[in-house]
Amino acid sequence: MEQEPILIFGLRPVDVATMLAALAAMAVMVAVWAATTVRDPMRGRVKALQERREQLKAGITASRRRSSVAAKAEATDFMREVLKKLSVLQDEQMREAQTKLAQAGIRSKDAIVMLLFARLVCPIFIGGGMVLAVYVFNMFDTYSNMTQMLIAGGSLYGGYKAPDIFVQNLISKRSDAIRKGLPDALDLLVICAEAGLTVDAAFNRVARELGAGYPELGDEFALTAIELGFLVERRQAFENLANRVALESVRGVVTTMIQTEKYGTPLASSLRVLSAEFRNERMMRAEEKAARLPAIMTVPLILFILPVLFVVILGPAACSISDSL
């Protein structure tokens, strides 16, 4: 009798090996593409400035800008009127939304109205659409009633939380970018303080030096330097910096700067101690990630590497055994 071929999930071993090899090749291509296309943080800004300069030279942006600004203003006014009628524009919610948007790097006042309007509209569209799909179009009629209720309720809650999740994601990415450049910024501040520069000039100089490598931190330092120049209380400028960045390390720097301004303590020595602490913290975070790497690589190793290795090693032997039988 002819022996039946061995099947894995309904597929022959050769087909499984081909699929795994294709996945491995695709993963290698994605890794090579990600390594060769590193995004320059200043390339987009330089390109935008060049395009803007060329448009101004051509003299063709006046009407376009007026029309786009007018359309945006009309849309924002409509959102604001809807929120006012529904009594959603409360001072506490406005302050909370403004703080979160500032931490995400969005400083437009219209963005606050857009965020609150998105909180109102997203549950209606996302949750309402899912409720229609579940109870009107019967797209999930094979599920139980409890599962259908969970799907509808989860979609409503997810629609309400979607704008906040999006903003929180922006805050996390921006905070990580600022955390990476903070030790270098403190070293530059120490050099500027030892060179005899004032705090305003030191922040401005560090902002210019860090603009290429860490644009987020450079923007924050530049804004702090501007506020130090025109605010009556310099303490307020440092507190604004702490409110715009969701990092405890920045709050520690702000506390040090405020104490230095108040008591006249040496700025360079305090910043040097903070810089050493932040560098040690960054090294400990890198060591922690390196220690987690073996556990993280276990699942890809089992799913992608070991099956291909077994096919390559045992495949010829299995083929020869099947031919002999």
Tens of pLDDT, residue by residue over 268-316, are: 887 888 878 888 888 888 888 888 888 888 888 888 888 888 888 888 8
Task: State both tokens at 308.
Answer: 């291909």
Is the pLDDT assigned to residue 63 strictly greater than 50? no
> What pLDDT score was predicted for residue 9?
54
Q: What is the mean pLDDT of residues 247-262?
A: 86
Amino acid at 146: M
* Model pLDDT for residues 124-141, shown as the tens digit of each residue: 888 888 888 888 888 877
* DSSP bridge partners of 11: 8
Q: CA-to-CA distance for 66 and 62, rounded, in angstroms?
A: 6
Q: What was the pLDDT predicted at 282?
A: 80
Comparison of pLDDT for 1 and 325, the residue scoring more:
325
3-state secondary structure at position 42: coil
Question: Is the pLDDT at 67 greater than 60, yes or no?
Answer: no
| Contact partners, residue 116, CB within 8 Å, separation at least 6 | 79, 83, 88, 89, 93, 94, 97
User: What is the pLDDT at residue 42?
Assistant: 56
User: Which residue type occupies 252?
Assistant: G
- Cβ count near 79 (within 10 Å): 20
Please give the Cα distance from 191 to 209 (Å, whole number): 12
- The answer to whether the CB of 107 falls within 8 A of the CB of 223 is no
Tens digit of each residue's pLDDT (9 = 90 or more) over 172-206:
999 988 988 888 888 888 888 888 888 888 888 99
Query: How many Cβ atoms are within 10 Å of 149's Cβ, its own excluded?
Result: 13
Task: Report the distance separating Cα 145 and Cα 162, nearest Å.
Answer: 25
What pLDDT score was predicted for residue 169?
A: 93
For the chain, give the mean pLDDT. Answer: 80
Rounded distance between C-alpha atoms, residue 211 and residue 188, angstroms: 13
If one compares 325 and 247, the residue with the highest pLDDT of the two is 247
Give the DSSP letter of residue 3.
P
Q: What is the average per-residue pLDDT within 226-242?
A: 88
Q: How many CB atoms lie within 10 A of CB 253?
A: 24
pLDDT tier at 7 (50, 70, 90 boundaries)? low
Partners of 216 in the beta sheet? none
Q: Global pTM? A: 0.67
CA angle 212/216/217 to nearest 5° reads: 85
Within a 10 A sphere around the Cβ of 304, how many other Cβ atoms? 14
* Residue 13: alpha-carbon gap to chain centroid: 42
Q: Which two tokens stand for residue 23?
A: 């996945």
Q: Residue with structure tokens 């179009």?
A: 137
